[in-house]
Homo-oligomer: A and B are copies of this chain.
Amino acid sequence: MDRKEFRDLATPEEAREAIASLSLEGGVERVSLADARGRVLVARLDAELDVPGFDRASLDGYALRAKDTFGADEADPARLTLTGTVHAGEKPAIEVGEGDAVEISTGAVMPAGADAMVPVERTDTEGDEVLIRTSVAPGDNVMFAGADVAAGERALGPGTRITPRDVGLLSALGIDEVPVRARPRVGIVSTGDELVRPGEAVDSDRGEIYDVNSYTIAAGVEDAGGEAVLYPHAGDDQDEMERVLREAAAECDLVLSSGSTSASAVDVIYRVIEERGELLLHGVAVKPGKPMLVGRLNASEDRSSSGGSAYVGLPGYPVSAMMVFRTFVAPAIREAAGLPEPDAATVEGRMARQERYGEGRLRLMPVGTVTDGDGETLVYPVDKGSGATTSLAEADGVVAVDPGTDYLDEGESVTVQLFSPDVRPPTLLGVGEDDPTLNRLLDDLENPRYLSVGSRPGLRRLREGVPDVAVVAGPIDREIEAASLGGWDREWGLVVRPGNPDEIEGLADLVDRELRFVNRTTDSGLRASLGGAIADLADERDATRHDLVEAIDGFDLGLRAHESPARKVIAGDADAGLGLRTTADRLDLGFVPIDDQPVRVLANPDRREKAGVRNLARALESADYQQ
């Protein structure tokens, strides 16, 4: 098979059609009533019996002949003879003749001869006589056989998605097993030597990373009504990969692969498809998601063998894989499962800033949303770069930008397709410094979103007007129009090995001794305070700041996260790292204090009355965070 067969990228519409042309249906299975909720019926179910199956007393009272009550009322009751009793769950042992009354419980079988009943409240007894103080018509207070459902009636139609109310109907009919569409079985095959399953140890020195796609796509498959089957990780060994692919093709209705960026994986896919499979499509004009494959896989090398499955190859990058899955694959799984497309949950908003496109491909842009001071929705792109695995957890939905659009302007109206109808956009959007106290504070709020981009980028974004609040640590080098909601102090310094075996006493040791240091990035408020401390030391020594910095081994090695330098110390890669006392304490490391720095929570002045901001201000006022 010629790998260059598909020179032009397919349109998204062609990709959808290619997947629709594959059969993903899993057939029929019978499930017990206890497991029927949410499943989709494949055949009509007719009532095979009457409900109730007998004429049934609706109340506690007396079964009798309606004729015998003619003219009876409070003042002038009819006097009947009590001749017996019928309880619920027993066969009447008696017939009701003229002038007879039989005591009967709610739900009991009406005895032969009786055509009505009178509730006990309208009666009295005198010895063997029952005084009936009302007159009734035939059928009064009786539920006739089949009045609820009658034998032969159409109960539930094919395609019904079974609700608890339908379970009630099925129960009433005595049905304890129903034929439903089998969930499409979707095999997930991940390849790539660098991938490690969550829960196992990852060796970063070897460039290993956790396999994000397998569990994520599996969760997406289950969300869409499919049954996900995770196959053992195949690495980059071609024989093993081929074996796993064929096994999955034999056992599943659809096989999804993703993970490997190596050419060898694609070679294996091509080989399995070549042997009596079929390649429908390679490459789609959509971003992210271009390198998508659609086809059929054969289960065995034997060309005459039947069996096999539909196949979609997803891009390796997690965000791309999920976007392609969501756009092209999930609808096909829902269709095969017999589930309706969820109501298009959409939100209209304005772009928070200009975004440029123009790659000539459909752009599926993950976005977050935030409510501005006027209650309008602002929409901002969420993009941590193509290798990022976590962007989607910070996004609320997707804006589809068509290939002809060069840019979306700031303030331009866009429609956000929420990831699901039950997505609740965050009540508060914060940006800025990463801080342990802040993390606890956020726990007290309902559904906040916080992007720890560092103090400086946080301030810049607050100025640009997107987030509700910015959290800033250390000195602020430029004034900003913002409302302070409060803050706390945190103690920073050098995180060192337990017990401080190098006897580091302060910054001067980093300058004067051969110690390996790990810094934070310049975005961090800690780095800014460190800069101030170094300037002070330079003044003291009559040296330049530059001289001191040059003398510190590792000053330029800036890590993004507040715990990362400490972890370098634990790993033995550094003797000291810039960090917080709370981090050192938490990780059982030594700590050499340098100074305290303030952490301030600054709000966009237009958003002070927003509920999420007011809740944050209230939480800040509580004693816990005032140090």
Task: List residues of A whose CB falls within 8 A of some B CB.
Answer: 33-34, 36-37, 44, 46-47, 49-54, 56, 58, 86-91, 105-109, 143-154, 156-159, 163-177, 192-194, 196-200, 202-220, 222-223, 230, 236, 261-262, 318, 322, 340, 342-343, 384-390, 392-393, 395, 419-422, 424, 434, 436, 438-439, 442-443, 446-448, 450, 452, 559-564, 567, 583
Q: How far is the CB of A200 from chain B (nearest CB, A)?
A: 8
B176 touches A199 (CB 8 A): yes
A164 touches B220 (CB 8 A): yes
Once bound together, how far apart are the Cα atoms of A170 and B318, in whole Å? 13
Q: Which of B198, B340, B583 contacts A174 (CB 8 A)?
A: B198
A389 touches B51 (CB 8 A): yes
B58 touches A563 (CB 8 A): no
Q: Which of B49, B89, B204, B561 contacts A206 (CB 8 A)?
A: B89
A150 touches B198 (CB 8 A): no
- Chain B positions within 8 Å of A159 at CB level: 446-447
Closest residue of chain B to A389, judged by CB?
B172
Once bound together, how far apart are the Cα atoms of A561 and B150, in whole Å? 5
Q: Which of B163, B223, B434 contacts A152 (CB 8 A)?
A: B434
B564 touches A108 (CB 8 A): no
Closest residue of chain B to A561, judged by CB?
B150
B107 touches A144 (CB 8 A): no
Closest residue of chain B to A201, judged by CB?
B174
Once bound together, how far apart are the Cα atoms of A141 and B522, in whole Å? 20
A168 touches B318 (CB 8 A): yes
Number of copies of this kind of chain in the complex: 2
Once bound together, how far apart are the Cα atoms of A564 and B434, in whole Å? 73
Once bound together, how far apart are the Cα atoms of A204 and B58, in whole Å? 16
- Chain B positions within 8 Å of A564 at CB level: 50, 145-146, 150-152
B559 touches A107 (CB 8 A): no
Most buried by B among A34, A89, A385: A89
Once bound together, how far apart are the Cα atoms of A174 and B199, in whole Å? 6
21 A-B contacts (beta carbon < 8 Å): A33-B199, A44-B439, A50-B559, A50-B567, A51-B389, A52-B209, A53-B209, A54-B204, A56-B209, A88-B193, A89-B193, A89-B207, A107-B387, A109-B205, A153-B562, A163-B419, A165-B392, A165-B393, A167-B218, A168-B215, A168-B392
A563 touches B150 (CB 8 A): yes
Q: How far is the CB of A321 from chain B (nearest CB, A)?
A: 9
Once bound together, how far apart are the Cα atoms of A206 and B92, in whole Å? 7
B146 touches A395 (CB 8 A): no
Once bound together, how far apart are the Cα atoms of A109 and B209, in whole Å? 11
Given the known A-B contacts A91-B205, A145-B559, A389-B148, are A322 and B174 also in contact in the complex, defined by CB atoms under 8 Å?
no
